[in-house]
Amino acid sequence: MPDTTSSPVALIHDLLARKRYAVSELDANVLRIQDLESGIVLRAVLEGEILFLSLVCMVVPRAKITSELMKKMLAADNGISTSHFQLYDAGDNQIAVTLNNFCKLQELGPDDEDDVLSCVSFLLADVVHAKDLIGADLQAA
């Protein structure tokens, strides 16, 4: 039975920490999550009942984001089926290439815990595929 006295973010924080992730609260609804084995960092934002997870793959000059690169990122058969790419303006003519996914939380019971852990695992696996898929295209000129 989940602890109903703690905030949902605190419960998610505790779950991830118990699974050996380094977790810190950046804001009331924002967590920084680091996989200790790989060093990869992602963020989780809780909005209502939806937990959004995001991982910055790379920040690159805007000119690196070509139509051919976008076709690779959007292709249905690109090997990344549990997450999706998004591009964000990072200022100074730079673009942040991110992988994202989300899960809907119900009661923060065992099913939700599995969903949260799966989403984190999927992002960590998908970033490996993303490196293979677009890494060479995004290397510094």
pLDDT tens digits in sequence order for the chain, 141 residues long: 345 568 899 999 999 999 999 999 999 999 999 999 999 999 999 999 999 999 999 999 999 999 999 999 999 999 998 999 999 999 999 999 999 999 999 988 889 999 999 999 999 999 999 999 999 988 854
Cα dihedral angle (48, 11, 99, 82), rounded to 10 degrees?
A: -90
Report which of 108, 123, 95, 94 is spatially closest to residue 33, judged by C-alpha positions. 123
Q: In this structure, how many other beta carbons lie within 10 angstroms of the beta carbon of residue 4?
A: 9
E strands in 30-136: 30-35, 41-47, 50-61, 84-91, 94-104
* pTM for this model (two decimals): 0.88
Residue 117 is given by DSSP the state: H
Q: What is the pLDDT of residue 141?
A: 43
The two structure tokens encoding residue 104: 């809907």
Q: What is the pLDDT of residue 108?
A: 84
Q: CA 84 → CA 17, 88, 103, 122, distances in Å?
A: 25, 13, 13, 11
